[in-house]
Chain A
């Protein structure tokens, strides 16, 4: 379904419905104005890469693995994994969280890519009952995540990302890995997350106030999936892990990414919608997000790609204009116990 676009930045694709946005007289948004005065993007990217490479050099050979890679079988995490293995020669453990909506092709890609790269691979599948409740509540309760999180992703994605981030830290502690890598690209997370030192105790202090609320919303298992046990934290030798997102340090067009990973045997999924290469639930999140907030949850990321010259504006506009139709997503809705109107279906 093609959405009628609200007033949109004349330079990128951010709409007037985007929270906190401002425009100048020429219709250029505040994000584009800031980017124009922020200095060379290429130089900033180079500095981030130098920082990341210094951290990689200092982290090598410390634990059983150098790096836990959050690996979804999608295109960006597949590219990230090959980069860490081939370019940086890191000993990686690829970890996939099967959320119950992993496409069959993505599952095949996980095996194909890790085999081609000679990487150890672990798949973890949380109980479907927990996942269904988490996704359903994320849509129906509203405001589960921080208010600003709606700028970055749908409620469904935000809950899933938050859970996966916690699980990756857990795996890093258990496997004594000093690094955690993600396949985030520009606009999905703050740029400084190219290299981020995590003080684990401070992270848990930040999250602790939400534990009771999460347990009420998602059930007792939320404690296990969104928070790290004190006993586990105490096992850690120095209380720090470093998160790296190598794709924030390079300028790559989608075609370049696909060419590289297809050489490893990676193939695109056909049943995951336009904005995901691994998750069959993604379109449900997009549709509800657009209905609730009036803008596409990928618009910040696509605007960033346009600003960086990695995507044509017309292509980005076309992508944010097409909102998935919930009537075509009834199997996914049934799996998480939701009706197309966003209310919980009776058991």
Chain B
């Protein structure tokens, strides 16, 4: 299974205008805390992930605090792909 991180990173860069420069913003930066992601952006992110990777997100996923960084989002998607959901 290929790593979905680059695809998600490209989406975040183009949609949220975030640059993962490895210093100010890294893959583990909480994008809500850094101010790059707002509630509209989160809707766009979830829609993109569901469409591109054919996964769905439960309330448990949304409340898990994992969908707040590139690394967290990629890990959740990867787990879903591995478990076929």
Q: How far is the CA of A113 from the CA of B68 in the complex (A)?
A: 42
Is B28 positioned at the interface, with any CB of A under 8 Å from its CB? no
Q: Is the CB of B39 within 8 A of A207?
A: yes
Q: Whose C-beta in chain B lies nearest to the C-beta of A149?
A: B38
Bound-state CA distance A196–B42 (Å) is 12
Q: B38 to chain A: which residues have CB within 8 Å?
A: 145-146, 148-149, 162, 206
Contacts of A193 in B (CB 8 A): 40, 43
A147 CB-CB contact with B under 8 Å: yes
Say whether B40 contacts A152, CB under 8 Å: yes
Count chain B CB atoms within 10 A of each CB in A147, A199, A213 and give the residue with the most.
A147
B31-76 residues with Cβ-Cβ distance < 8 A to A are 32-33, 35-44, 47, 59, 62-63, 65, 68
Residues of B within 8 A of A196 (CB): 43
Q: Give residues in B with beta carbon < 8 Å to A.
A: 13-18, 30, 32-33, 35-44, 47, 59, 62-63, 65, 68
Roughly how many angstroms separate A143 CA and B16 CA in the complex, as a whole number?
13
Given known A147-B36, A199-B63, A207-B39, contact A190–B17 (CB-CB < 8 A): no
Q: Which of A193, A196, A202, A203 has its CB near the most chain B CB atoms (within 10 A)? A: A202
13 A/B residue pairs, CB under 8 Å, sorted by A:
A20-B14, A146-B16, A146-B37, A148-B36, A148-B38, A189-B40, A190-B43, A192-B43, A193-B43, A199-B63, A205-B63, A206-B38, A206-B39
Q: Chain B's nearest CB lies how many Å from the CB of A88?
A: 23
Knowing A19-B17, A206-B32 touch, does A148 contact B41 (C-beta < 8 A)? yes
A201 interface residue, CB < 8 Å from B? yes
Please tell me which one of the listed residues A147, A165, A209 contacts residue B16 in the complex, with CB atoms under 8 A apart: A147
- CB–CB B43/A147 < 8 A: no
* Beta-carbon contact of A209 and B43 below 8 Å: no
Would A206 and B16 be within 8 Å (CB), given that A190-B47, A192-B47 are in contact?
A: no
A145–B32 alpha-carbon span in the complex (Å):
11
Tell me the bound Cα distance from A209 to B37 in angstroms: 11
Q: How far is A149 from B40 in the complex, measured between Cα atoms in Å? A: 9
**Smallest beta-carbon distance B51→chain A, Å:** 10
Chain A residues whose CB sits within 8 angstroms of the CB of B32 once the complex forms: 206-207, 209-210
Q: Is the CB of A209 within 8 A of B42?
A: no
For the complex with contacts A149-B40, A206-B68, 19 further pairs of A-B residues with Cβ separation under 8 Å are A20-B13, A20-B14, A20-B17, A143-B35, A146-B16, A146-B36, A147-B17, A147-B18, A147-B36, A148-B15, A148-B17, A162-B38, A189-B40, A193-B43, A202-B59, A202-B62, A203-B39, A207-B39, A209-B33
Task: Please name the 10 residue pairs, one residue from A and one from B, whose CB atoms are nearest each other, closest first.
Answer: A209-B33, A147-B17, A146-B38, A202-B62, A192-B47, A148-B16, A20-B14, A190-B44, A209-B32, A148-B17
Q: Which residues of A contact B36 (CB under 8 A)?
A: 146-148
Q: Mark each residue of chain A from 174 to 215: 1 if its CB lies under 8 Å from any CB of chain B, else 0.
A: 000000000000000110110010010111011101100100
- In angstroms, Cα B17 to Cα A143, docked, is 12
* Residues in chain B near residue A205, CB distance under 8 A: 63, 65
Contacts of A165 in B (CB 8 A): 39
Find chain B residues with CB under 8 A from A190 CB: 40, 43-44, 47
A190–B38 alpha-carbon span in the complex (Å): 13
Q: Are A206 and B63 in contact (CB under 8 A)?
A: no
Alpha-carbon distance A68/B79, docked complex (angstroms): 38
A152: chain B residues at CB < 8 Å are 40
Q: Determine the chain B residues whose CB is within 8 A of the CB of A202 once the complex forms.
A: 59, 62-63
A206 to B30, CA, bound (A): 10
Contact A209 B17 (CB under 8 A): no
> Once the chains are docked, how many angstroms separate the CA of A203 from the CA of B37?
12
> A206–B42 contact, CB under 8 A?
yes
Q: How far is the CA of A213 from the CA of B44 in the complex (A)?
A: 24
- Residue B41 contacts which of A20, A146, A192, A210 (CB distance < 8 angstroms)? A146
Give Cα A147 to B36, complex, Å: 6
